[in-house]
Amino acid sequence: MSSPEGFGLSCPLPIDQYPTVVLAHGGGGTLMHQLIGKMFRPAFHNPHLDAGHDGAVLRLTGRKLALTTDSYVVRPLFFPGGDIGTLAVNGTVNDLAMCGARPLYLSAGFILEEGLPMEALWRVVQSMARAAEAARVQVVTGDTKVVDKGKGDGVFITTTGLGAIEHDVSIAPGSVQPGDLVLLSGDIGRHGIAIMAVREGLAFETTIESDCAPLAGLVMELLDAGVEIHCLRDLTRGGLASALVEIAETAEVQITIEERAIPVREEVQGACEILGLDPLYVANEGRFIAFVPPEAAERALTIMRGHLLGAEACVVGKVMRVSPGLVTMTSRIGASRIVDMLSGEQLPRIC
Amino acid sequence: MSSPEGFGLSCPLPIDQYPTVVLAHGGGGTLMHQLIGKMFRPAFHNPHLDAGHDGAVLRLTGRKLALTTDSYVVRPLFFPGGDIGTLAVNGTVNDLAMCGARPLYLSAGFILEEGLPMEALWRVVQSMARAAEAARVQVVTGDTKVVDKGKGDGVFITTTGLGAIEHDVSIAPGSVQPGDLVLLSGDIGRHGIAIMAVREGLAFETTIESDCAPLAGLVMELLDAGVEIHCLRDLTRGGLASALVEIAETAEVQITIEERAIPVREEVQGACEILGLDPLYVANEGRFIAFVPPEAAERALTIMRGHLLGAEACVVGKVMRVSPGLVTMTSRIGASRIVDMLSGEQLPRIC
């Protein structure tokens, strides 16, 4: 249905069930996937969008480019370990990295709310500039809109990233193979808990900082070393669990993980218990999983562990053929359970 | 000051004067230019941004690409002649066209407000799909965020466009030369008046429809015919006047226009009088100006007039050396006056 006449006039989502947009439609869980899968993807139908990847891989003049976009609406704007500006640069840089692309250029669209303190905007812009410098990308074009007070929330930023893919490896969910190992780049749950702690006014013994960081350098090291990588995915909205379910479904494979292998810091685990959250679903902004064939795992881990952002990298699971689309986890006590996608997410407006 | 250490910690804007963001900071006038010129541009400093163009022209693997972004916050979402979806596609397609680029790919970032009727979103998405089909671009990647009720306004859309520049002409404000003629593609003011009429509940004898349309086809015809073009600019926020002032300042030339040469439909003129607006400053979404050397003007006009979107194309002014940065207009009664940029804009949230 590439023709606009091709899709009907009636809304493709069951509007008796969800007559309006709810927060969970942006939560990274099943409702968001329904919105994307049933409305956006059929309407804009094309192979790039259908690949179900973090960005589009485009062939232009014989070279491969990656294009990716994210809107950032995190609340509060400033949090331990970063702010919306850091996030807007690193998040998009990371999506490019997950396509195996070297990040080159960013665009930035600002939607400012009337009444936003000018000093706050300046802090955000400085954070973006620093993050761009660190990730070696240039913000080359932008746009500024202002909405009336009460029609926005301080500042929303949409960054789009353009990167170059300088290799012939197809890094995408579709490349995942039974037998692949799942590598995790480090401990999970810090970004979500850092945000939640500020939002709920919780004080822990140690301040938990967001893990927000640019992952492109580490990914480029893996690629430059010629490590065979089948798929990469950063663990943002919906956390490790949602990323695994998305890939299991797109690649039509089963993924099984070991709970005890997944690093979670003691203070994050403690905060999760207090807040009633499962770290598997908590957002990260500097963590990713890599799907590699078993023979490439040792080399990949060595490179990852040699990098500041992958020091705790480890194998957390493997890919199997048995039940396509299913993610299972062996718990600490040895029981096996199914890992589902949440219908919404635990924490709205996390990024 | 490409290094983040290079700019100071204090806010570069006079915060005693504007301690917070006001609507005019997004209005396309002097306040917006101050925000961009004093805060964004120095912070993200690079030659692409400094070119002061509608998009960035990038050299990648020996080929030229254009990257441009715009956030759309128009209110109301639906208006005669289009909606936020039509606008989000055509606006970005037009910015690519103004770089002389053939639009290829779009990304779309949606910021939805909790409570938005699902049917409204579906209408917007269908409009985007139709507009993309008409402009021959593909929406290849996207993102969806939902913000709490009262923290957004229905739907905001940020589209980023990637286009290919298939010629060696440098189409940019910096290429404008004294002696160039200023061609206008048609009548002005319809988009702004269409929005304003809905917003204010005004009924005119004939419904004034937005001129929202994709300009890339017409621009490609000019380029394919080898017409020498020095600069192109679409007349969005701030209208014809602001576009002229921006170019006069960037190119360091004087531009003089003839009021009587500028087509304004009778009903638009009438509405402007009722609303106390000057059509020179009213936004358009399907009109542009072209700067061409005098010897190319006839050919350019013939091609433009042969196209539905340029049927009323005409010469409205010329470029002079006398007073760099100045725009002057000869009125209907023969008097000359200076055309300034407004400090804000007449109509907030017009696109």
B224 pLDDT above the threshold of 50: yes
Question: Under 8 Å CB-to-CB from B218, ≥6 apart: which residues?
Answer: B97, B185, B303, B304, B307, B309, B310
CB neighbour class for B22 (10 Å; exposed up to 12, middle 13-18, buried from 19): buried
pLDDT digits (tens, 9 = 90+) for B132-149: 999 999 999 999 999 999
pLDDT on residue A345: 67
**Measuring CA to CA, which residue among B266, B263, B283, B293 is closest to residue B184?**
B263
Mark the ranges of chain A whose per-residue pLDDT is less than 70: 1-8, 345-346
Predicted pLDDT of residue A80: 96
- pLDDT at residue B163 is higher than 80: yes
Average of per-residue pLDDT across B112-139: 97
Do B81 and B146 touch, CB atoms closer than 8 A?
no
Residue B3: pLDDT band by 50, 70, 90 thresholds? very low
CB A99 within 8 A of CB A163: yes
Question: Which tokens sit at B336?
Answer: 């000359």
Q: Tokens in use for B212? A: 């929202």
Q: How far apart are CA A288 and CA A230, in angstroms?
A: 13
| A213 min Cα distance to partner chain B (Å) | 17
The dihedrals phi and psi of B263, each to the nearest 5 degrees, come to -75, 125
pLDDT digits (tens, 9 = 90+) for B20-48: 999 999 988 889 999 999 999 999 999 98
Instruction: Please tell me the pTM assigned to this model.
Output: 0.95
Confirm or reject contact between B312 and chain A (CB < 8 A). no
On average, the pLDDT of chain B sits at: 93
The CB-side HSE value for B234 (13 A sphere, CA atoms) comes to: 31
User: Among B239, B152, B99, B308, which Cα is nearest to A150's?
Assistant: B152
Interface test with B, best of A17, A21, A33, A112 (most B CBs within 10 A): A21
- B51 to chain A, closest Cα gap in Å: 10
What's the confidence (pLDDT) of residue A165?
94
The pLDDT assigned to A60 comes to: 84
User: At B171, phi and psi to the nearest 5?
Assistant: -95, 105
Instruction: Count Cβ–Cβ pairs < 8 Å, chain A vs chain B.
Output: 308
Q: What is the pLDDT of residue B53?
A: 80
pLDDT(B2) > 50: no
What is the pLDDT, as a whole number, of residue A8? 54
Do the Cβ atoms of B58 and A148 come within 8 Å? no
Nearest CA in chain A to B67: A141
Name the more confident of A16 and B190.
B190
Predicted confidence at residue B345, as pLDDT, reads 67
Beta carbons within 8 Å of A66's beta carbon, 6+ residues apart: A55, A56, A57, A58, A96, A99, A100, A101, A161, A162, A163, A164, A165
Contact A100, A132 (CB under 8 A): no
Query: Residue range B73-96: average pLDDT?
Result: 97
The closest CB to that of A118, out of B15, B62, B70, belongs to B15
Contact map slice: A 259-298 vs B, CB within 8 A: none
A51 touches chain B (CB under 8 A): no
- pLDDT value for B54: 79
Asked whether residue B210 carries a pLDDT value surpassing 50, the answer given is: yes
Contact A117 B19 (CB under 8 A): yes
